[in-house]
Structure 1
Amino acid sequence: MKLLDEDVWSLFKRHWQQTLTYWSVFFSFGLCIAFLGPTILDLRCQTQSSLSQITWVFFSQQLFLLLGSAVGGRFKKTLLSSLVALLSCTLIISVVFAIIPLCHHFILLSLAMAVAGKAMGVIDTIANLQLVKLYQKDSAIFLQALHFFIGLGALVSPLVADPFLADDNCVLGVNWTANSSSSSDLEHLRSSLAGHGVTPNNISQYPLHTEGIVVTRVSYAFWIMAVINLPVPAAVLALMYHERLLPCSSKSPKLLGSNHQSGPGSGGDDDQGHGSVFGCCDLVKLRDRPATFFILHALGGAILFITDGIIGSYAGFVYTYAVSPPLLMGHKTAGCLDSVFWAAITAGRLAFIYLSYRYAAPRLLTFCLAGVIVVQCLLLIFYTSCVFLFIGTCVLGLCISSVFPLMLAFTEDVLDYKGCATTVLVTSASTGEMLLQLLVGSVIHSHGSYSFLLCCTIASFIGFCLFLLLLYVKSIHRNEQPDSSKSMDLKEKPEMGDS
């Protein structure tokens, strides 16, 4: 049995260089998004900041990632502008990796992470947009592969950083031998921070030195990651040369002003709709759209707001839940949960590359969202079982891993690839990942760790109900389409008669 039929394979062969380039920039995205958690204690030492101060670096990265996602669509009016933006952003990520060791104040570090976050957001939007435009109805399988590379980058980044992390307190104060935290306390704190689900309130119990001699080798990790990332902008540059978008590639006419997208069914009108979130609000372009057009955007965005929020919240707080009563799991064992979760997400995206080809997106989405609910309910029932927490974490990662690429491909297909769905969905997902973590974190702080599972379960039920509503609105929207096409024909017939 062939993995791909001849039509899909021929499409890939036609666009292989663009496809591999977009996959590689998502590796860069994953590399950048995963390094902050494991290295944050060493960065605290480097900047000689308190933990309350250094956690603002997380917020800075997430906020500007959201802003980058919102404005990323503005760079895709032409293939040239898209590739220039990707080249700039991937270079920025390498530069940020290189200059992080030079940031000796947490404000400078926050600014560097804001720049990196903005670049990551632009990458997120453009790569998704371009793949959807290239493959359209066949985009689901290639979007699955695209998001697999995020997981791959997120796995590589901590592996690079780990040999250079400090085992003990990396700021040696005057009385450090008596007052410094033990190695097990630092390991516990590092695992808490690695999930991104931290606030100044729940880490203030860990007093660490801010004055003294800094002893950390984490700079080498960032310089290595800067070098690892350099082939990515080189791949974008090679694609620009291949597409004759560079001054030096003048063997044949350049296509600077055209869209130069050879995807099936791509046209000039598509680019007009795929702008930034703010460009999507052009009333002149959207006044003739049916109400279902806007409702589909809103529902798709709301579903991804919830599912990406669940991913961020679970990754952020599963460690805190595991080490709290009634589980009271050991720090080292609990620290593996986050790695198991992200490994399951990566494996799930790899498996769904094939499943997306074999089965329709609505069926897979139904299976995934229903699976998330079942797993969350079982975690609530067996909340005292450490073994089931590991099993549930793995299954949850597999189920929720591919909701984003499936929802993106499905929504764009329903809207006939003429709206700004990709930008809206990417921005909604980024917003959910940031805001739902803050909400769950505040609930945990006030009501205890068990409320973490309850919040995720309620959110998964809401997400599934919204998906059922999306299917209903989709059927209404499809029924309205023939009427609109007939009205267009009636408008054209008198003009043809007049001529």
Structure 2
Amino acid sequence: MESRGSQAKAVGQRLLQTGTPGKNGLQAVSRGQVGRALRWFSTAVLNAAFLGMGVSAAVLGPTLPDLAKNVNRNISSLSEIFVGRALGYLCGSVVGGALFDCMNHFLLLGLSNLVTSAGLYVTPFCRTAGLLTAMMSVTGVSFGVLDTGGNVLILNLWGDKGAPHMQALHFSFALGAFLAPLLAKLAWGTTASTQNHTESGFDRSALNRSSEATSDSLFAVPEDVTLLWTYASIGTYVLVVSVFLFAPFFKQSSKQKKSMASAQEARKAKYHWALLCLLFLFFFFYVGAEVTYGSFIFSFATTHVGMEESEAAGLNSVFWGTFAACRGLAIFFATLLQPGTMIVLSSVGSLVSSFFLVLFDKSPLCLWIATSVYGASLAATFPSGISWIEQYTSLSGKSAAFILIGAALGLMATPALSGILQGHYPDLPIILYTCLGSAVFTTALFPVMYKLATLPLGGKQKKSIKSESQKFLPSSSGLQGRK
């Protein structure tokens, strides 16, 4: 009897012991579900933030005549606001990269969105060119912080599965840039005429009355109320998104940060900074060519090819339309193709299309076809480049800031230099030469980057990196829930 009693007692203890892991398993599953939900929520909010950044950045173009009227200036003499915003973006990338490694990610991005919202609210009230340039610089800083932090954070959230989400992030920005003119021109009915783009089109008396009425004030309510509502609506959207960005801040812990930092250290390549320098150059030429072609294709089509202005405007729309559409399609292609494969396909498409643009620079038909192919080829390059380098070495805030500075410098330097050369040699298609040269350079540079990235990764090191990533990344249950 005692032996049976002791056996029954032992069986009961074993049953109790097996019941405890069951509870732990349910708790782990519950934590995993919460982690997945938080990760998807964070991704959705980041996409909403990039959508707002796209709208905020692109709305300046269609509202520029009204802003110029506010400050009693001509558009031709107000170019410093673009320089101010570009310099602000550079500063924001540097500051954001430094802060991203030492403070909570969502807190930083939420604060940057608050700054953007404040800048949008104040912009229509600016009555001097200096103050308007200062506001553009402030919003440029917040753009730089959000762009740097958003790219790194999406990789931290999804790891090796981040390629489609990176494409979606940049598609959100392109979608916002596409919606901005519609919001400014249709939703709120901004009545700025194309005649406002020239000095002769301004109403001198109206400008003089506005100048006299507000000569001693820095801020004043704009005469065009639709301008106010346009910026106020976008600012409100950005403000709401900033509130949602603060939500994940309360779910993170120092343990998650330590785990992520350890994982990043384990995945740092031997030639980490050499790869970053090459990617710096890659993005410098890629972004420079993209902005140069998009900025000058209208004037090139009218002066060099002889198109009507309506046709040239349609050509410009085709370029940016195919660019945005293929960025959306790249979300699905990224689930099937590796980032390196997408970069190769994009580089070949850019090289072929720019070659035909140079070869048949006087042909309208070739210009239409090659422009659409060129816009489609450029679409996936930037997000694929960030996803590609993450496969070989982890990106910290400072690393992301470094390569984004390359993109920002290309954005400023290449269009400016191309425009100057085109003015000195009006009979030559300098814009097309710039695009072809950039395509040749990026196509030749990527194999060098690939060779350098794979050179130190022997079989043992690959296994070590994979084991370290599996060890650390799943530990952050708040953001790294099981897929």
Superposition TM-score, scaled by structure 1 size: 0.76
The partner residue of 2:245 within 233, 236, 247 is 236
The partner residue of 1:269 within 262, 269, 280 is 262
CA–CA separation in structure 1 for the residues paired with 2:96 and 2:147: 8
- Preserved CA contact (<8 Å) 1:48 1:210: no
User: Structure 1 132/485 Cα, relative in aligned 2: closer, same or farther at 3 Å?
Assistant: closer
User: Structure 1 50/389 Cα, relative in aligned 2: closer, same or farther at 3 Å?
Assistant: same
Map 1:57-68; keep pairs closer than 5 Å. 57-68=81-92
Structure-1 residue corresponding to 2:362: 384
Residue 417 of structure 1: CA displacement?
5.3
- Preserved CA contact (<8 Å) 2:315 2:371: yes
Q: Does 1:320 align with 2:299?
A: yes
> Could you list the per-position Cα deviations for residues 353-389 of structure 1 after superposition, in whole angstroms to 9, with x for gaps in the alignment?
1111111111111110111010101112232233432
Moved more, 470-479 or 91-100: 470-479
State the one-letter code of the partner of 1:166: T
Structure-1 residue corresponding to 2:228: 219
State the one-letter code of the partner of 1:231: V
Residue aligned with 1:161, SS: helix
Structure-1 residue corresponding to 2:127: 104
Residue aligned with 2:391, SS: helix
User: Structure 1 419/105 Cα, relative in aligned 2: closer, same or farther at 3 Å?
Assistant: closer
The partner residue of 2:143 within 100, 106, 120 is 120
Q: Does 1:474 align with 2:483?
A: no
Structure-1 residue corresponding to 2:476: none
Structure-2 residue corresponding to 1:42: 66
Q: Does 1:414 align with 2:438?
A: no
- Preserved CA contact (<8 Å) 1:68 1:121: yes
Residue 261 of structure 1: CA displacement?
5.4
The partner residue of 1:399 within 344, 352, 377 is 377
Structure-2 residue corresponding to 1:26: 50
State the one-letter code of the partner of 1:23: N
Structure-2 residue corresponding to 1:174: none
- Preserved CA contact (<8 Å) 2:58 2:181: yes
Residue 207 of structure 1: CA displacement?
4.5
State the one-letter code of the partner of 1:395: V
RMSD of aligned residue pairs (Cα, Å): 3.0
User: Structure 1 324/472 Cα, relative in aligned 2: closer, same or farther at 3 Å?
Assistant: same
The partner residue of 2:182 within 151, 156, 159 is 159
User: Structure 1 131/401 Cα, relative in aligned 2: closer, same or farther at 3 Å?
Assistant: same
Superposition TM-score, scaled by structure 2 size: 0.78
Structure-2 residue corresponding to 1:496: none
User: Structure 1 382/11 Cα, relative in aligned 2: closer, same or farther at 3 Å?
Assistant: farther
CA–CA separation in structure 2 for the residues paired with 1:106 and 1:55: 10
State the one-letter code of the partner of 2:55: L
CA–CA separation in structure 2 for the residues paired with 1:480 and 1:443: 50
Residue 14 of structure 1: CA displacement?
5.6
Map 1:361-376; keep pairs closer than 5 Å. 361-376=339-354
**Which has the bigger relative contact order, CA under 8 A and spacing at least 6?**
2
Residue aligned with 1:158, SS: helix
CA–CA separation in structure 2 for the residues paired with 1:345 and 1:12: 31
Map 1:125-144; keep pairs closer than 5 Å. 125-144=148-167
CA–CA separation in structure 1 for the residues paired with 2:123 and 2:237: 15
CA–CA separation in structure 1 for the residues paired with 2:396 and 2:124: 44
> Could you list the per-position Cα deviations for residues 335-362 of structure 1 after superposition, in whole angstroms to 9, with x for gaps in the alignment?
2333322222221121111111111111
State the one-letter code of the partner of 1:22: L
CA–CA separation in structure 2 for the residues paired with 1:47 and 1:407: 41
State the one-letter code of the partner of 1:114: S
Residue 236 of structure 1: CA displacement?
1.1
Structure-1 residue corresponding to 2:256: 260
Q: Does 1:459 align with 2:438?
A: yes
> Could you list the per-position Cα deviations for residues 261-307 of structure 1 after superposition, in whole angstroms to 9, with x for gaps in the alignment?
59xxx533356799xxxxxxxxxxx9xx74x3322111111111111
> Could you list the per-position Cα deviations for residues 197-240 of structure 1 after superposition, in whole angstroms to 9, with x for gaps in the alignment?
xxxxxx8xx55548431564423322222233332112213333
Map 1:164-183; keep pairs closer than 5 Å. 164-168=189-193
Residue aligned with 1:212, SS: helix
Q: Which runs of 5+ in 1 are unaligned?
A: 1-8, 169-182, 190-202, 245-254, 275-285, 487-499
Structure-2 residue corresponding to 1:444: 422
CA–CA separation in structure 2 for the residues paired with 1:270 and 1:40: 46
Residue 422 of structure 1: CA displacement?
2.4
State the one-letter code of the partner of 1:48: N
Structure-1 residue corresponding to 2:472: none
Residue aligned with 1:477, SS: coil
CA–CA separation in structure 2 for the residues paired with 1:310 and 1:128: 21
Residue aligned with 2:104, SS: helix
CA–CA separation in structure 2 for the residues paired with 1:317 and 1:273: 45
State the one-letter code of the partner of 2:423: H
CA–CA separation in structure 2 for the residues paired with 1:210 and 1:107: 22
CA–CA separation in structure 2 for the residues paired with 1:137 and 1:354: 16
Structure-1 residue corresponding to 2:8: none
CA–CA separation in structure 1 for the residues paired with 2:291 and 2:395: 29
Moved more, 142-151 or 376-385: 376-385
CA–CA separation in structure 1 for the residues paired with 2:34 and 2:297: 43
- Preserved CA contact (<8 Å) 2:63 2:192: no
Residue aligned with 2:182, SS: helix
Residue 479 of structure 1: CA displacement?
4.1
CA–CA separation in structure 1 for the residues paired with 2:279 and 2:294: 23
The partner residue of 1:425 within 403, 411, 414 is 403
CA–CA separation in structure 2 for the residues paired with 1:39 and 1:344: 24
- Give the number of the structure whose alpha-carbon radius of gyration is greater: 2
- Preserved CA contact (<8 Å) 1:273 1:420: no
- Preserved CA contact (<8 Å) 2:100 2:397: no
- Preserved CA contact (<8 Å) 1:306 1:459: yes
State the one-letter code of the partner of 1:461: V
CA–CA separation in structure 2 for the residues paired with 1:315 and 1:53: 22
Residue aligned with 1:415, SS: coil
